[in-house]
Amino acid sequence: MKNLIKIANGQGFWGDSIDAPTKLLKYGKIDYLTLDYLAEVTISIMQKQKLKNKMFGYARDFVDLVIDNQENIKKK
C-alpha cells in the first residue's frame, strides 16, 4: 500500500474565508495546509498598498491566522 499525503488549501485569495483554514486544521485529516494569496487581483491590491506604505504589501491577516491557530498547527 502506498503512503498517502493529504494536502489541503485553506484560502484561494486574500479575503477568502478566514474560517476555512481553521476548520481544516481542527477537523481535517490533513498532513499539510497551504494558503494561496497570489491571485492576480490580490497582487495588484497589495502592490498599491505597498506604494502608499512600505510596511504593507502582504497579507496582513496571515500573521494573526497563524498565531490564532498555532496549537492546532503544532498538533499536525
> What pLDDT band is residue 49 in, cutting at 50, 70 and 90?
very high
Report the predicted TM-score, pTM, of the whole model to 2 decimal places: 0.71
Grid cell listed for 46: 497589495
How far apart are alpha carbons 11 and 27 in whole angstroms?
16
Average pLDDT, stretch 8-13? 90
Instruction: Round the average pLDDT of the chain to a whole number and report it.
Output: 89
- Is pLDDT of 59 > 90? no
pLDDT beyond 80 at 76: no
37 and 47 in contact (C-beta within 8 Å)? no
